[in-house]
A and B are shown apart, each in its own frame.
Chain A
Amino acid sequence: MVNRQHPIKILVHVYRSVRYMIIPYTLMLFNEIKAGTGQQPYWVYVLAVVIGVSILLWSMITWWKDTYQIDESALLIQQGVFNTTHRTIPLERITNISMKATWMERIMGATTIELQTSDSNEEADATFVLTRDKADILLAEINRSVRSHGQAKPSWVLQPKDIFMRSISSNTFWMGVPLCLSIVTYIWDWIEPRSEGEEVSLVAFFKNEMWKMILNIDVVPVLLQVLGIIALCAFATWLFSLVMMQIRYNRWTVIRDGAYLHVQYGWQERKSISLHVAKIQSIRIKEHLLSRAFGYVSIWMDCVGYEGERRMKLLLPAVHRPELYTAMERLLPEFTLTMPKRNLPSGKAMYFIVLPLAMGMLVIGLGACMSIWAWLATPLLAAVYWSGRKRYAGTYWDTHGKQFVLAKPGITRTTIYVLRQAIQSIDYHQNRIQHGCGIYQVEIIINSPSKAKEYIFTGAAEGDIAKLMDWYKGQQRIEHCS
């Protein structure tokens, strides 16, 4: 039987076709109303109607021609109006399924389903916007009824407090600061309107008179005031992000069901993801700066064929450290959480501490030759020393059975656990300074990692490389450091 997607897809198609025209058309309309003319030549209206009707008709034809069928073993997809594409996806090859419903889709009784089969984290192999009944039928045919897991016993459910612990360490709120600053500027302008002739353009900003005026007044109080306003805006957006994360991660539930892992979350847009456990290559335990102080960590993963929301591949946004092992045993017993014991070789502090310090001193010294103010940067050397010391003393790696473990310090402390069968290759390199210090940089290559730098560490000695290679080649000769 030939199936079609939900008619809401016509609206989505229309929206996608006109979305880049919305802002210029709105501005044009606004200017037209403001100018008070309201009259255009007839051909403008005719052209607008022709374009609108064409887009609507094309969207309807595209929707009509996009069909799918399910038989016992495969999903048959047909797409295209003039150039028709027929795709056959074997049902057993579908590894990951994502479901989401925006508020508009919820009102219209629709659900978006993304199916992934590929061995890369590219976009979904097939995306359908279906009625809820058709979505249920499709999932039942694939034997992956995600919806039914809504009634199944969840393996792990996050409480609002857990989500709060994740949100306090959110670093995405910085993106809202420019918007907040703009709003503050407009409010300020409304409270204290500027004089008629005053310009607010970018050109006026760079006019020499303005800078002369600033340099004539007391710079320090002005600078402090500007910094204060920026800090207040950052704080306001941070508070806003706390609320937004509660909405986005509302009722975060993870269900382990045999070979599959189901993750469901969201209030305004409820999402449901179904992953094949065999495709999970690694997990990453992250200890964020603020939530670490309260004993919370977040669990991330790299799973083949799963792109994640905004490239974030979260398993659990926050879990209290004492409950971490229980959570992992329930959700992913394939991974064993052990702390790595092998630290960087002794006597190599020079590379991590002395060299950056020497470089910093050189830069400050050269700067001081040009301006005496460069000496003010001297306290930064303490930060360089502290960072290098933490990096050297806090990096640990190890191998445990069939998994490689790497713990790296930083503002966010990260520990990764990679399965050996997921490692595509191992790269190691050495520059002349590293050669002088007798250390290497090692990179573990996996399929489409979300953050490749988390799989890189510097400071391995030649013996460490040999042991790592032995382990990778399956010759279990590695010994744990005492």
Chain B
Amino acid sequence: MSSTVSEQQLHPNVIPYWRIYRFLSALKRTALVSIPIAIHLMWLPQWKWIMYAAAAYLLFHWCKALFYIFYGVRFSYARRSYVLTSDEIIIRWGNIWSAHSSVIPLSRVLHVVIEQDVIQKKLGISDLAIVTAGDANYILGLLEEDTKKLRRQVIELAKIGDTGAYGE
């Protein structure tokens, strides 16, 4: 019998993290697209379509990135959560367009991984990857201490159900 725990939201620090991350991704994409633009300017000035295609591509992706940074990020935050019970973990995520849920029996968990990049370290948050034989599901943007606590909880609970999923 599973004892239900209330739905846990992520730490709000994940919002600036996603904004920075998205901004850096847009910059990376711009740097990549600048390669064909440079080729056009230096060697192929008669091929104007390269410039038009690159400009259209950049315009589309920058609009998308700015829309996400100023508006969409709130949906991502509102739709990301997790519920840990004694025999399962439910991870929810989504964006402005869709909502996803993943139901993972704790007995299927092979291992859990804590991940943290430089920006996350600065903001004091980290990710927890819950790995089964089929997939890896991420709980993003928890405070470092909360991540460690959740990892300990998952490991301890996963031991209980090692006879099979949901005590099979």
Contact = CB atoms under 8 A, between A and B. Distances in A.
A428 B102 CA distance: 6
Interface residues of A, number: 25
Interface residues of B, number: 24
Interface string A108-125: 000000000001100000
B117 interface: no
Contacts of A432: 97-98
A15 interface: no
Contact of B108 (A120, A424, A473): A424
A447 interface: yes
Looking at B88, B101, B133, B134, the one whose CB has the most chain A CB atoms below 10 A away is: B134
B12 interface: no
Interface in B130-155: 132-135, 137
Nearest to A423: B165
B35 interface: no
Sorted from nearest, which 6 A-B pairs have the closest CB atoms? A424-B134, A429-B100, A445-B134, A431-B98, A447-B133, A424-B132
Contacts of B108: 424-425
A426 B133 contact: no
Given A421-B165, A425-B132, A431 B97 contact: yes
Nearest to B131: A424
A472 interface: yes
Contacts of A469: 103
A283 interface: no
A165 to B, nearest CB: 33
Contacts of A446: 134
B39 interface: no
B167 A425 contact: no
A293 B99 CA distance: 41
Given A425-B103, A425-B108, A430 B98 contact: yes
B166 A425 contact: no
16 contacts: A420-B165, A421-B165, A424-B108, A426-B102, A428-B101, A429-B94, A429-B100, A430-B99, A431-B97, A431-B99, A445-B134, A445-B135, A446-B134, A447-B134, A472-B165, A473-B87
Interface in A388-432: 420-421, 423-432
A474 interface: yes
B103 A472 contact: yes
Given A421-B165, A472-B166, A474-B168, A427 B100 contact: yes
Given A428-B100, A429-B99, A421 B133 contact: no
Could you say which of A420, A421, A426, A445 has the most chain B C-beta atoms within 10 Å of its C-beta? A445
Interface in B57-110: 87-88, 94, 97-105, 108
Interface string A446-482: 1110000000000000000000010011100000000
A405 B23 CA distance: 44
Contacts of A474: 165-168
Contacts of A425: 102-105, 108, 132, 134-135, 137
B76 to A, nearest CB: 14
Contact of A421 (B2, B88, B103, B164): B164
Interface string A306-323: 000000000000000000
A284 B122 CA distance: 49
B100 to A, nearest CB: 4
A304 B134 CA distance: 11
B144 to A, nearest CB: 26
